[in-house]
Amino acid sequence: MAESTATHRSLGDRAARLLANTTKTPPQWSAITPRWLVQFLPWTPVEAGTYRINRVKDGTPVDVVCGQKDEGVLPATFVDYEEKPRELTLSVISTVLGIHTRVSDLYNQPFDQVKEQLRLTVESVKERQESELLNNPDYGLLRNVDPGQRLQPRSGPPTPDDFDELISRVWKEPAFFLAHPRAIAAFGRECTRRGVPPPTVTLFGSPFLTWRGIPLVPSDKLPVDPKGKPGGTGRTSILLLRTGVAKQGVTGLFQPGLPGEQTPGLSVRFMGIDSHSIASYLISLYCSAAVLTEDALAVLENVEVGHYHDYK
């Protein structure tokens, strides 16, 4: 019987790898998004965690006179304010991160375990922040659209006519549309079908579709009712915003000067090490959003995102 064992003439791969280093990536997480809404919104610092929106009373005209040439009496007038303005209190998104000291002592190269855990936890908190800016029952943008600014699509999918109608409601310096990526794709299909593909613009180093010069900003935090789910219709909403306090638009709110502040409104504080050798870090993010006037925000509701066309 012939000998089947081959004689090695050099060091094999398996043995060589025992002396070699492996190049590793930091932890990758597909749940992390660009969070465009947070980047596009202007942010206003808030004192003592409370923001009051003072508004002029509706139906209070200012009496003026034009083209006066005689010595007639000038009209007397004043502007009245709402006596019970809305006040917004900053909301907190917080969690406690625990890291065993044995892990951070022994397994801290090439990546700092504490820094990586904090980075990923902060990313999760910021993702929740964008979701709350849209869906929070108190200050979320979807909940704070004036009834007169709520529109329905003409036929189901979002069409150029629907977007023009949104612009007619937020015509004073509109800043951007905000839509789920599937809604933007649905709008692109409707534009292609009509032979008017929307142009693109580069902002923050990324391309965005535009309509009438206004960028379409994607966010997966806008809810979509998926088809196949009981009661689901495959529909979502599209927002159009005017932004900034100077333009009486939409603004984000944050608390400046927090202890352990990492970014505006976000703080990380060391809480100590317990008897189980677990180090704890408190991560807190304070935020809210304010719609300063009713015409700063409009929404196109019940937009169908699953409609496709056959091209022959």
Distance separating alpha carbons of residues 172 and 164, to the nearest angstrom: 13
Contacts of 171 (CB under 8 A, 6+ apart): none
Distance separating alpha carbons of residues 270 and 97, to the nearest angstrom: 10
**Which domains does the chain show, CATH number per domain?**
36-55+89-304 (3.90.1690)
**Six token digits for residue 311:** 């091209």
pTM: 0.90
**Six token digits for residue 90:** 């900053």
Region for residue 251 given its phi and psi (left: phi exceeds 0; alpha: psi -120 to 50; beta: otherwise): beta
The helix (run of H) or strand (run of E) holding residue 97 is: strand 91-100
Distance separating alpha carbons of residues 296 and 175, to the nearest angstrom: 10
The helix (run of H) or strand (run of E) holding residue 102 is: helix 101-106
Of 312, 300, 310, residue with least CA distance to 157: 300
Amino acid at 100: H
Tens of pLDDT, residue by residue, the chain (312 residues): 455 456 778 999 999 999 999 999 999 999 999 999 999 999 999 989 999 999 999 877 888 888 777 777 888 888 899 999 999 999 999 999 999 999 999 999 999 999 999 999 999 999 999 999 999 999 999 999 999 999 999 999 999 999 999 999 999 999 999 999 999 999 999 999 999 999 999 999 999 999 999 999 999 999 998 875 666 678 999 999 999 999 999 999 999 999 999 999 999 999 999 999 999 999 999 999 999 999 999 999 999 998 888 877
Within 13 Å, how many C-alpha atoms sit on residue 279's CB side?
15
Distance separating alpha carbons of residues 130 and 261, to the nearest angstrom: 19
Distance separating alpha carbons of residues 125 and 119, to the nearest angstrom: 10
Q: Dmax of the chain from CA atoms?
A: 129
Amino acid at 163: F
Q: In which residue are the tokens 């534009």 written?
A: 191
**Six token digits for residue 194:** 């009509």
